[in-house]
Amino acid sequence: MSRLAAAIEGVALLGPGLPGWAAARAVLTGAQPYAHAPTVVPVATLLPPNERRRAGLAVKIALAVGWGALTESARDASALETVFTSSSADGDTCHAICEQLAGSERLISPTRFHNSVHNAPSGYWSIATRCMAPSTSVCGYDASFGAGLLEACTLVHARGAPVLLIAYDAPYPEPLLSKRPVPDAFGVALLLSPQAGAGVLARLELTLIGDSPEPLADGDLESLRRSVPTARSLPLLSLLARGARGTAAIEYLDGLHIAATVAPCA
């Protein structure tokens, strides 16, 4: 694969012990120690009341970080192409459907069904922002963040236009949690554009390598990185938080990983 380049205009992060990008930067730079705390996902105020009541945890965290990456940008959300990526779906909805199918009456409500599909957050995003631009939803198991990052940077290169990447994971309840142990909700969003300009945080270049990612120096953050697929983004986010030039390896396929090289913009 030839190198893919993009500019990073906005970042948002929400996860256990990382309640927003501003707070997370202090942790990722080492200015403050990491302290685990359950993820607090805000109410999806972007949505009309009816849709807000129907939205599950996966939708809420996707909307929260997606909008967060736009807060310091002049970009119009209604015109932005999006890439959504997640290793799973709405765990609570999937659990409820499984319970219903295991019972004697196997009638599934339409709301349950449409919340269970993998591109549900994309649909809710279009309702919240009135966005009519193309949207892609991808999944790559534990490599979902890397797959989404590649997809988004490829679209930036192909379209010559900005793309909003929204990555998220939410836990399943038991007994599904024992089979897919994602311990908490985690979301990341990156606003990517083809050219560096005013307000751009950094330049990003992607290529494929064989070297595996190195563990994070902080053992607790490394445990978080390994336990939640979307948290595979933490090495890249650490470079962005420090404003440092460097390369972060991100899991992709067996024996093949993504080298994400960051160069801060003056």
CATH number, domain containing residue 52: 3.40.47.10
User: Is residue 146 one of the residues assigned to a domain?
Assistant: yes
Q: What is the pLDDT along the chain (266 residues), one digit of tens a residue?
A: 578 999 999 999 999 999 999 999 999 999 999 999 999 999 999 999 999 998 999 999 999 999 999 987 889 999 999 999 999 888 899 999 999 999 888 888 888 888 889 999 999 999 999 999 999 999 999 999 999 999 999 999 999 999 999 999 999 999 999 999 999 999 999 999 998 777 789 999 999 999 888 899 999 999 999 999 999 999 999 999 999 899 999 999 888 999 999 998 86
User: Is residue 264 one of the residues assigned to a domain?
Assistant: no
User: Is residue 224 one of the residues assigned to a domain?
Assistant: no
Per the structure, the complete domain to which residue 190 belongs is given by: 9-199
Confidence (pTM) = 0.96
Question: What are residue 207's DSSP bridge partners?
Answer: 259
User: Is residue 246 one of the residues assigned to a domain?
Assistant: no
User: Is residue 3 one of the residues assigned to a domain?
Assistant: no
How many domains is the chain partitioned into structurally? 1
What is the secondary structure of the chain as a DSSP string?
---EEEEEEEEEEEBTTB-SHHHHHHHHTTSS--------PPP-TTS-HHHHHH--HHHHHHHHHHHHTTTT----GGG-EEEEE-SS--HHHHHHHHHHHHSS--PPPHHHHHHHSTTHHHHHHHHHH---S-EEEE--GGGHHHHHHHHHHHHHHHHSS-EEEEEEE-PPPTTHHHHS---S-EEEEEEEESS--TT--EEEEEEEESPPPPPPSSHHHHHHHHHSGGGGGHHHHHHHHHT--EEEEEEEETTEEEEEEEEE--
User: Is residue 152 one of the residues assigned to a domain?
Assistant: yes
User: Is residue 236 one of the residues assigned to a domain?
Assistant: no
Q: What's the CA angle centered on 133, arms 131 and 138, to 5 degrees?
A: 100
